[in-house]
Amino acid sequence: MPGAAAACGGDARETVKAPLVANDFLEAQVDELRGAVSSGYARGRHGARQDRQE
């Protein structure tokens, strides 16, 4: 059993769900930190969130 699946007890749904939940948490942290950084320090680089197209 691969590492991620083993960490989730072999449950395929939980294996897929775990990184999605972690990503949501990290995105919330980034949004909170962007609000805490002064606009002068960031020089306007962190305005409204823009989704990248990759």
Residue 22: the pLDDT is 94
Asked whether residue 44 is domain-assigned, the answer is: no
Residue 54: the pLDDT is 47
Asked whether residue 54 is domain-assigned, the answer is: no
Structure token digits, residue 27: 């995105």
Q: Is the pTM of this model over 0.75?
A: no
Asked whether residue 50 is domain-assigned, the answer is: no
Separation between Cα atoms, residue 47 and residue 45, nearest integer Å: 6
The domain containing residue 28 runs over which residues? 3-36
Per-residue tens of pLDDT for the chain, all 54 residues: 568 888 888 888 999 999 999 999 999 999 898 888 777 776 766 655 555 554
In the 3-class helix/strand/coil scheme, how is 6-53 assigned residue by residue?
Answer: HHCCCCHHHHHHHHHHHHHHHHHHHHHHHHHCCHHHHCCCCCCCCCCC
Number of domains in the chain: 1
Residue 21: the pLDDT is 94
